[in-house]
Amino acid sequence: MTDFLSVPFYDLLAEESHVPRIRETLPPVLEGVRRSILEIGAGTGLITMSLAEWTPAEIFALEPSAGMRGVLLSRLSGRPDLLERVTVLPCDALSVNLDGEPVEAVVMINVMYALEPGYRKRLWPVLAAHLEPGGLLVFTWRGGGGGGAPAPRPLQEVHSRQVGRHTYRVSLEIVESTEEAYKGRYLYRITQGDRVVSEEEIVGHGYRPTWETLQEELVSAGFVQSDAPEGLLAWRRT
Protein backbone atom coordinates (compact mmCIF):
# COMPACT_ATOMS: atom_id res chain seq x y z
CA MET A 1 0.00 0.00 0.00
CA THR A 2 1.26 3.50 -0.77
CA ASP A 3 2.89 5.12 2.25
CA PHE A 4 1.19 8.35 3.33
CA LEU A 5 4.59 10.12 3.17
CA SER A 6 4.73 9.65 -0.61
CA VAL A 7 1.16 10.82 -1.38
CA PRO A 8 2.00 14.55 -1.81
CA PHE A 9 4.59 13.58 -4.44
CA TYR A 10 2.38 11.18 -6.35
CA ASP A 11 0.56 13.28 -8.96
CA LEU A 12 3.56 15.53 -9.59
CA LEU A 13 5.72 12.59 -10.55
CA ALA A 14 3.17 10.20 -12.09
CA GLU A 15 2.09 12.89 -14.55
CA GLU A 16 5.67 12.87 -15.83
CA SER A 17 6.24 9.12 -15.78
CA HIS A 18 3.78 6.32 -16.65
CA VAL A 19 0.52 8.26 -16.93
CA PRO A 20 1.03 10.04 -20.30
CA ARG A 21 1.99 6.74 -21.93
CA ILE A 22 -0.99 4.90 -20.45
CA ARG A 23 -3.25 7.63 -21.80
CA GLU A 24 -1.95 6.75 -25.28
CA THR A 25 -1.88 2.98 -25.07
CA LEU A 26 -4.93 2.07 -22.95
CA PRO A 27 -7.87 3.60 -24.93
CA PRO A 28 -7.63 1.20 -27.93
CA VAL A 29 -7.49 -1.80 -25.57
CA LEU A 30 -10.73 -0.64 -23.94
CA GLU A 31 -12.54 -0.11 -27.22
CA GLY A 32 -16.06 -1.54 -26.98
CA VAL A 33 -16.18 -1.40 -23.16
CA ARG A 34 -19.39 0.49 -22.38
CA ARG A 35 -21.05 -0.92 -19.28
CA SER A 36 -18.69 -1.36 -16.32
CA ILE A 37 -15.01 -1.23 -15.29
CA LEU A 38 -13.34 -2.27 -12.05
CA GLU A 39 -10.12 -0.34 -11.51
CA ILE A 40 -7.79 -2.01 -9.00
CA GLY A 41 -5.45 0.39 -7.13
CA ALA A 42 -7.00 3.57 -8.51
CA GLY A 43 -4.57 5.68 -6.50
CA THR A 44 -5.25 9.41 -6.76
CA GLY A 45 -7.59 8.90 -9.73
CA LEU A 46 -5.32 9.99 -12.60
CA ILE A 47 -6.34 6.93 -14.64
CA THR A 48 -9.88 6.86 -13.22
CA MET A 49 -10.64 10.28 -14.70
CA SER A 50 -9.32 9.15 -18.08
CA LEU A 51 -11.38 5.94 -17.98
CA ALA A 52 -14.43 8.09 -17.40
CA GLU A 53 -13.58 10.24 -20.41
CA TRP A 54 -12.82 7.36 -22.77
CA THR A 55 -15.86 5.21 -21.95
CA PRO A 56 -19.45 5.76 -20.79
CA ALA A 57 -18.99 2.84 -18.34
CA GLU A 58 -19.86 2.80 -14.65
CA ILE A 59 -16.53 2.71 -12.79
CA PHE A 60 -15.67 0.97 -9.53
CA ALA A 61 -12.42 2.60 -8.38
CA LEU A 62 -10.91 0.40 -5.68
CA GLU A 63 -8.21 1.98 -3.51
CA PRO A 64 -7.12 0.76 -0.05
CA SER A 65 -4.87 3.70 0.91
CA ALA A 66 -6.83 6.46 2.68
CA GLY A 67 -4.28 9.09 1.57
CA MET A 68 -4.51 8.17 -2.11
CA ARG A 69 -8.29 7.78 -1.87
CA GLY A 70 -8.55 11.25 -0.35
CA VAL A 71 -6.96 12.79 -3.44
CA LEU A 72 -9.18 10.65 -5.71
CA LEU A 73 -12.33 11.82 -3.90
CA SER A 74 -11.13 15.40 -3.96
CA ARG A 75 -10.66 15.12 -7.73
CA LEU A 76 -14.14 13.59 -8.12
CA SER A 77 -15.76 16.25 -5.95
CA GLY A 78 -14.98 18.82 -8.63
CA ARG A 79 -16.83 16.72 -11.23
CA PRO A 80 -20.49 16.29 -10.17
CA ASP A 81 -21.19 14.46 -13.47
CA LEU A 82 -18.68 11.74 -12.51
CA LEU A 83 -19.92 11.46 -8.93
CA GLU A 84 -22.96 9.74 -10.44
CA ARG A 85 -21.04 6.93 -12.10
CA VAL A 86 -17.80 6.40 -10.15
CA THR A 87 -18.03 4.35 -6.95
CA VAL A 88 -14.92 4.42 -4.75
CA LEU A 89 -14.32 1.10 -2.99
CA PRO A 90 -12.21 1.56 0.20
CA CYS A 91 -10.76 -1.94 0.37
CA ASP A 92 -7.92 -4.06 -0.98
CA ALA A 93 -8.26 -6.07 -4.20
CA LEU A 94 -8.97 -9.43 -2.56
CA SER A 95 -11.87 -7.94 -0.59
CA VAL A 96 -13.69 -6.53 -3.62
CA ASN A 97 -17.48 -6.87 -3.52
CA LEU A 98 -19.49 -5.86 -6.58
CA ASP A 99 -22.86 -7.03 -5.26
CA GLY A 100 -22.73 -10.06 -7.57
CA GLU A 101 -22.66 -7.96 -10.78
CA PRO A 102 -19.74 -8.99 -13.02
CA VAL A 103 -17.89 -6.22 -14.84
CA GLU A 104 -16.84 -5.99 -18.49
CA ALA A 105 -13.23 -5.03 -17.72
CA VAL A 106 -10.69 -4.92 -14.90
CA VAL A 107 -7.91 -2.32 -15.19
CA MET A 108 -4.82 -2.41 -12.96
CA ILE A 109 -2.17 0.21 -13.72
CA ASN A 110 1.17 0.11 -11.84
CA VAL A 111 -0.17 -2.01 -9.00
CA MET A 112 1.26 -5.48 -9.52
CA TYR A 113 4.67 -4.45 -8.13
CA ALA A 114 2.93 -3.95 -4.75
CA LEU A 115 1.40 -7.43 -4.59
CA GLU A 116 3.31 -10.07 -2.65
CA PRO A 117 3.46 -13.30 -4.77
CA GLY A 118 1.05 -15.34 -2.59
CA TYR A 119 -1.45 -12.48 -2.67
CA ARG A 120 -1.08 -12.07 -6.44
CA LYS A 121 -1.72 -15.79 -7.02
CA ARG A 122 -4.93 -15.58 -5.02
CA LEU A 123 -6.00 -12.41 -6.83
CA TRP A 124 -6.33 -13.73 -10.42
CA PRO A 125 -9.17 -16.19 -9.64
CA VAL A 126 -10.93 -13.46 -7.63
CA LEU A 127 -10.73 -11.08 -10.60
CA ALA A 128 -11.90 -13.85 -12.96
CA ALA A 129 -14.93 -14.37 -10.71
CA HIS A 130 -15.78 -10.65 -10.95
CA LEU A 131 -15.50 -10.55 -14.75
CA GLU A 132 -18.27 -11.51 -17.17
CA PRO A 133 -17.40 -14.39 -19.56
CA GLY A 134 -15.05 -12.99 -22.22
CA GLY A 135 -14.36 -10.00 -19.95
CA LEU A 136 -11.07 -8.11 -20.25
CA LEU A 137 -8.24 -7.91 -17.70
CA VAL A 138 -5.62 -5.30 -18.57
CA PHE A 139 -2.57 -4.35 -16.53
CA THR A 140 0.89 -2.86 -16.87
CA TRP A 141 3.87 -5.10 -17.56
CA ARG A 142 7.38 -3.68 -17.45
CA GLY A 143 9.13 -7.00 -17.54
CA GLY A 144 10.15 -6.97 -21.21
CA GLY A 145 10.38 -10.53 -22.47
CA GLY A 146 11.33 -12.29 -19.25
CA GLY A 147 10.11 -10.19 -16.32
CA GLY A 148 11.66 -10.70 -12.89
CA ALA A 149 12.88 -8.28 -10.23
CA PRO A 150 15.36 -5.49 -11.06
CA ALA A 151 19.02 -6.03 -10.10
CA PRO A 152 20.49 -4.14 -7.11
CA ARG A 153 21.69 -0.63 -7.96
CA PRO A 154 22.89 2.42 -6.01
CA LEU A 155 20.71 5.35 -5.01
CA GLN A 156 19.83 7.51 -8.00
CA GLU A 157 17.31 10.25 -8.64
CA VAL A 158 14.39 8.92 -10.66
CA HIS A 159 12.06 11.96 -10.72
CA SER A 160 12.08 15.63 -9.93
CA ARG A 161 9.54 18.40 -10.41
CA GLN A 162 9.57 22.10 -9.67
CA VAL A 163 6.77 23.57 -7.54
CA GLY A 164 7.31 27.30 -7.04
CA ARG A 165 10.64 27.74 -5.25
CA HIS A 166 10.81 24.06 -4.27
CA THR A 167 11.89 20.93 -6.13
CA TYR A 168 10.19 17.65 -5.30
CA ARG A 169 12.67 14.79 -5.79
CA VAL A 170 12.47 11.02 -5.55
CA SER A 171 15.54 8.80 -5.51
CA LEU A 172 15.56 5.01 -5.48
CA GLU A 173 18.12 2.43 -4.44
CA ILE A 174 17.50 -1.25 -5.17
CA VAL A 175 19.08 -2.63 -2.03
CA GLU A 176 18.77 -6.33 -2.82
CA SER A 177 16.78 -8.59 -5.09
CA THR A 178 15.86 -12.21 -5.69
CA GLU A 179 14.16 -13.70 -8.76
CA GLU A 180 10.76 -12.09 -8.05
CA ALA A 181 11.25 -9.67 -5.14
CA TYR A 182 13.36 -6.63 -4.43
CA LYS A 183 13.95 -4.32 -1.50
CA GLY A 184 13.78 -0.66 -2.47
CA ARG A 185 14.92 2.38 -0.50
CA TYR A 186 13.09 5.52 -1.57
CA LEU A 187 14.17 9.00 -0.59
CA TYR A 188 11.48 11.69 -0.86
CA ARG A 189 13.06 15.14 -0.67
CA ILE A 190 11.91 18.70 -1.08
CA THR A 191 14.75 21.12 -1.75
CA GLN A 192 15.14 24.84 -2.32
CA GLY A 193 18.48 25.47 -3.99
CA ASP A 194 21.02 23.68 -1.80
CA ARG A 195 18.73 23.66 1.23
CA VAL A 196 16.81 20.49 2.11
CA VAL A 197 13.30 21.53 3.18
CA SER A 198 12.24 17.99 4.08
CA GLU A 199 13.53 14.48 3.64
CA GLU A 200 11.74 11.17 4.28
CA GLU A 201 12.98 7.65 3.64
CA ILE A 202 10.71 4.71 2.88
CA VAL A 203 12.07 1.18 2.66
CA GLY A 204 9.74 -1.43 1.22
CA HIS A 205 9.48 -4.51 -0.95
CA GLY A 206 8.34 -4.72 -4.55
CA TYR A 207 7.59 -7.74 -6.71
CA ARG A 208 7.88 -8.58 -10.39
CA PRO A 209 7.06 -12.12 -11.44
CA THR A 210 8.90 -13.81 -14.25
CA TRP A 211 6.93 -14.11 -17.46
CA GLU A 212 6.62 -17.93 -17.02
CA THR A 213 5.20 -17.55 -13.51
CA LEU A 214 2.73 -14.87 -14.54
CA GLN A 215 1.54 -16.80 -17.56
CA GLU A 216 1.04 -19.98 -15.53
CA GLU A 217 -0.94 -18.11 -12.86
CA LEU A 218 -3.24 -16.42 -15.37
CA VAL A 219 -3.85 -19.53 -17.47
CA SER A 220 -4.71 -21.57 -14.38
CA ALA A 221 -7.11 -18.81 -13.29
CA GLY A 222 -8.95 -19.23 -16.63
CA PHE A 223 -7.53 -16.37 -18.71
CA VAL A 224 -6.29 -16.40 -22.31
CA GLN A 225 -3.92 -13.74 -23.57
CA SER A 226 -5.02 -11.22 -26.19
CA ASP A 227 -3.23 -8.40 -28.01
CA ALA A 228 -2.04 -5.29 -26.19
CA PRO A 229 0.47 -2.54 -26.94
CA GLU A 230 3.97 -2.50 -25.43
CA GLY A 231 3.84 -1.88 -21.67
CA LEU A 232 0.40 -3.46 -21.19
CA LEU A 233 -0.89 -7.02 -21.02
CA ALA A 234 -4.47 -7.92 -21.92
CA TRP A 235 -6.12 -11.20 -20.96
CA ARG A 236 -9.70 -12.42 -21.41
CA ARG A 237 -11.73 -14.60 -19.12
CA THR A 238 -12.61 -17.79 -20.97
Ligand X SMILES: C[S@@+](CC[C@H](N)C(=O)[O-])C[C@H]1O[C@@H](n2cnc3c(N)ncnc32)[C@H](O)[C@@H]1O
Residue 191: CB minimum distance to ligand X, A: 23
How far, CA to CA in Å, does 222 sit from each of 116, 128, 163, 197? 21, 7, 46, 50
Residue 172: CB minimum distance to ligand X, A: 13
The neighbour count for residue 62, using CB atoms within 10 Å, is 24
Q: Which of 68, 106, 137, 149 binds ligand X (CB under 6 A)?
A: 68
For position 110 contacting ligand X by CB under 6 A, the verdict is: yes
**Binding to ligand X, residues 113-132 (CB under 6 A):** 114-115
Residue 195: CB minimum distance to ligand X, A: 29
Long-range contact set of residues 219-224: C-beta below 8 Å, sequence gap at least 24? 220/124, 221/124, 221/125, 221/127, 221/128, 222/125, 222/128, 223/124, 223/128, 223/137
Q: What is the number of the residue whose Cβ is closest to ligand X?
A: 43
For position 76 contacting ligand X by CB under 6 A, the verdict is: no
Residue 194: CB minimum distance to ligand X, A: 30
Q: Distance between CA 131 and CA 104 in Å, rounded? A: 6
Closest to ligand X by CB, 51 or 218: 51
For position 111 contacting ligand X by CB under 6 A, the verdict is: yes
Q: Which of 6, 9, 13, 14 binds ligand X (CB under 6 A)?
A: 14
- 18 phi and psi, to 5 degrees? -75, -25
Q: At what angle do helices 117-130 and 211-220 cross, to 10 degrees?
A: 40
Q: Pattern 17-56, binding to ligand X, x per CB under 6 A?
A: -----------------------xxxx--xx---------
**Binding to ligand X, residues 77-96 (CB under 6 A):** 92-93
For position 184 contacting ligand X by CB under 6 A, the verdict is: no
User: Which among 64-72, 78-86, 199-207, 217-225 is the span making contact with ligand X, rule CB under 6 A?
Assistant: 64-72
User: Which of 238, 59, 39, 70 has the alpha carbon at shortest distance from 140?
Assistant: 39
For 147: left if phi > 0, alpha if psi spans -120 to 50, otherwise beta; the answer is: left
Residue 103: CB minimum distance to ligand X, A: 15
Q: Distance between CA 18 and CA 4 in Å, rounded? A: 20
Closest to ligand X by CB, 74 or 238: 74
- Where along the sequence are the contacts to ligand X (CB under 6 A)? 1-2, 14, 40-43, 46-47, 62-65, 68, 92-93, 109-111, 114-115
